[in-house]
């Protein structure tokens, strides 16, 4: 039986091409797992497996229907993820790492083991030596203007990805990236897995990052012991939310 959340996200993604033509940017899906108390992991820098088998499989199905997948360098350093599609058959999305200062280790699985060359979004001021080392290891470094706090400007990155033909982007975390995407009104939809555990750990959304944001077209589905919620974010709500 097909998962309802997957069907609805597939349906949303049929608009991805039109969306890119209209806005020059990919449709952005925020997809992550959290505990009942809203934690992403026990402690920053420490991987914590939260999803059950069914929702982990859904994550791989979602990867397979997005053109690209993005994580922050904090997640690369903590989890060393591959971001490939393994639990189902389907194409691997283009991996993108948000990494202003090029902290990605050249031995990271995304650099050494991924079938596609990783795109690393760095700021224009990143050290040329680090850039050369990562490019020699097979990555492609995208130089982008710095935005808030000297980090990669997400708006510029989305524009660049749009120019590069990416019409859908799955953002898998971690906390700082989720918070930035939400606070800047850049996520179009959310697919959230809630695992039946309490962690009291790293909050998925940083305190004060956003005000009131409500999902529309919400669907809840139980997968194994997990609850998966998906819904759309209204750009107007996002841009007028009570953020700092």
Ligand X SMILES: NC(=O)c1ccc[n+]([C@@H]2O[C@H](COP(=O)([O-])OP(=O)(O)OC[C@H]3O[C@@H](n4cnc5c(N)ncnc54)[C@H](OP(=O)(O)O)[C@@H]3O)[C@@H](O)[C@H]2O)c1
Q: Which residues bind ligand X (CB under 6 A)?
A: 32-33, 40-41, 44-47, 50, 71-75, 78-79, 98-101, 103, 147, 151-152, 154, 172-177, 180
Alpha-carbon distance 99 to 119, whole Å?
A: 10
Measured from the CB of residue 136, what is the shortest distance to ligand X in angstroms?
Answer: 21
Residue whose CB is less far from ligand X, 15 or 221: 221
Which residue, 72 or 95, has its beta carbon nearer to ligand X? Answer: 72
Four-point Cα dihedral 8, 12, 14, 19, nearest 10: 180
Instruction: Give the residue with the Cβ less far from ligand X, 15 or 225.
Output: 225
Nearer to ligand X, 74 or 162 (CB): 74
Residue 220 carries which DSSP code?
Answer: E
For residue 3, whether the previous peptide bond is cis, meaning omega lies within 30 degrees of 0, is no
Q: How far is the CB of 97 from ligand X (least distance, A)?
A: 8
Structure tokens at 228: 């998966």
Least distance (Å) between residue 14 CB and ligand X: 25
Cβ at position 71, least distance to ligand X in Å: 5
Give the ranges where the chain is alpha helix by DSSP (H). Answer: 4-13, 16-23, 53-65, 73-79, 109-112, 128-136, 154-163, 175-183, 235-240
């Amino acid at each position: 039986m097909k998962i309802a959340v997957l069907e609805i996200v597939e349906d949303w993604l049929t608009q991805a091409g039109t969306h890119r033509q209209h806005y020059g940017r990919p449709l952005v899906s925020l997809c992550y797992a959290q505990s009942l108390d809203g934690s992403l992991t026990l402690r920053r820098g420490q991987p914590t497996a939260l999803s059950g088998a069914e929702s982990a499989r859904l994550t791989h199905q979602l990867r397979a229907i997005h053109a690209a997948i993005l994580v922050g360098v904090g997640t690369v350093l903590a989890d060393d993820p591959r971001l490939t599609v393994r639990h189902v058959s389907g194409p691997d999305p283009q991996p993108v790492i948000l990494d202003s200062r090029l902290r990605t280790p050249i031995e990271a699985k995304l650099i050494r083991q991924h079938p596609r060359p990783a795109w690393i979004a760095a700021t224009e001021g990143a050290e040329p030596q680090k850039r050369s080392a990562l490019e020699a290891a097979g990555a492609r470094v995208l130089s982008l203007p710095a935005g808030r706090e000297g980090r990669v400007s997400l708006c510029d990155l989305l524009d660049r990805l749009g120019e590069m033909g990416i019409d859908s982007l799955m953002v898998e975390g971690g906390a700082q990236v989720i918070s930035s995407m939400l606070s800047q009104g850049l996520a179009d939809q959310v697919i959230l897995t809630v695992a039946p555990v309490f962690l009291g750990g790293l909050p998925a959304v940083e305190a004060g990052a956003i005000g009131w944001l409500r999902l529309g077209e919400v669907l809840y589905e139980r997968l194994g012991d997990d609850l998966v919620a998906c819904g759309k974010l209204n750009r107007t709500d996002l841009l007028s939310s009570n953020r700092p």
